[in-house]
């Protein structure tokens, strides 16, 4: 019978295996979203990555509780999974709701926090200069040197005022795509966590037909 003990047990085990796959996807997506060291410092994207790590750990707890029909494990698994659902749902909605101005503000905060070496790597990788202003040609306290990237951007151009574009212009599409991708996948899979909570509640209230009929716990 599909609504019986064995079916609920197998469904919960399969769902937790799915969670491991989902967590791997979330981690992979956020790693892809960190295409530059600048994006690494965006807190919302980091929140999705943290959810993926916690989801793997919770899945292990859920698998153990489902196999043993352990009431205490299933209870803590159910509570933690519901809290994770709320967090992941909120973060996913935040990712989808962030507009271009807010993305730029968050990216600016990330740019200000990283050291000069990371900024230099971003500039060389994306062939850009500075964050919003490309007029910095010498190393200052806030801006790394643009001499190397300007030589690449201006190769073959006979002008003394040639400079690379600001990094924000180069990274704008990458950052926006990372937010939308993380938000969409996080929102979709957060509802599977709610399904897991419902299935756990149902499974906990069922008796194992192979166990002592008088023993529930």
What does the pLDDT look like over 49-82, one tens digit per residue?
777 788 788 888 888 888 888 888 999 999 988 8
Do 150 and 83 fall into the same domain?
Answer: no
The tokens for 125 are: 């990788």
d(CA 158, CA 204): 75
What is the reported pTM?
A: 0.64
Do 97 and 170 fall into the same domain?
Answer: yes
Residues in the chain: 217
Do 111 and 37 fall into the same domain?
Answer: no
Do 58 and 131 fall into the same domain?
Answer: no
Do 13 and 77 fall into the same domain?
Answer: yes
Do 92 and 182 fall into the same domain?
Answer: yes
- What is the pLDDT confidence band of residue 213, given thresholds at 50, 70 and 90? low
211 lies in a domain?
no
The residue with greater pLDDT, 139 or 25, is: 25
65 lies in a domain?
yes
Counted domains in the chain: 2
210 lies in a domain?
no
167 lies in a domain?
yes
Which residue range(s) make up the domain with 72?
A: 5-87+188-205
Greatest mean pLDDT range, 37-51, 100-114, 123-137, 148-162: 100-114
213 lies in a domain?
no
Residue 3 has pLDDT above 70, yes or no: no
Angle at alpha carbon of residue 197, lines to 213 and 178, rounded to 5°: 155
214 lies in a domain?
no
Do 79 and 118 fall into the same domain?
Answer: no
Do 79 and 123 fall into the same domain?
Answer: no
The runs of H, that is alpha helices, within the chain are 5-33, 43-68, 71-97, 100-113, 116-126, 147-153, 167-204
DSSP letter (8 states) at residue 40: G
Do 76 and 98 fall into the same domain?
Answer: no
Do 161 and 102 fall into the same domain?
Answer: yes
Do 77 and 122 fall into the same domain?
Answer: no
Do 180 and 96 fall into the same domain?
Answer: yes
Residue 125 has pLDDT above 80, yes or no: no
212 lies in a domain?
no
- What is the pLDDT confidence band of residue 34, given thresholds at 50, 70 and 90? low
d(CA 152, CA 149): 5
């Amino acid at each position: 019978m599909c609504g019986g003990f064995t079916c609920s047990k197998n469904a919960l085990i399969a769902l937790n295996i799915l969670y491991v796959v989902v967590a791997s996807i979330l981690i992979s997506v956020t790693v892809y979203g960190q295409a530059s060291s600048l994006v690494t410092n965006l807190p919302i994207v980091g929140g999705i990555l943290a959810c993926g790590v916690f989801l793997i750990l919770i899945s292990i707890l859920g698998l153990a509780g489902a196999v043993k029909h352990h009431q205490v494990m299933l209870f803590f698994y159910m509570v933690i999974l519901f809290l994770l659902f709320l967090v992941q749902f909120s973060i996913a909605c935040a990712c989808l709701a962030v507009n271009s101005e807010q993305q730029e503000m968050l990216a600016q905060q990330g740019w200000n926090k990283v050291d000069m070496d990371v900024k230099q790597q971003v500039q060389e990788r994306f062939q850009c200069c500075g964050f919003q202003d490309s007029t910095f040609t010498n190393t200052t306290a806030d801006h790394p040197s643009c001499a190397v990237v300007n030589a690449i951007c201006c190769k073959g151009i006979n002008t003394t005022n040639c400079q690379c574009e600001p990094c924000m212009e180069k990274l704008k599409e990458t950052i926006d795509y990372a937010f939308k991708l993380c938000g969409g996948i996080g929102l979709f899979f957060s509802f599977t966590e709610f399904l897991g909570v419902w299935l756990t509640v149902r499974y906990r209230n069922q008796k194992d037909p192979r166990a002592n009929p008088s023993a529930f716990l």
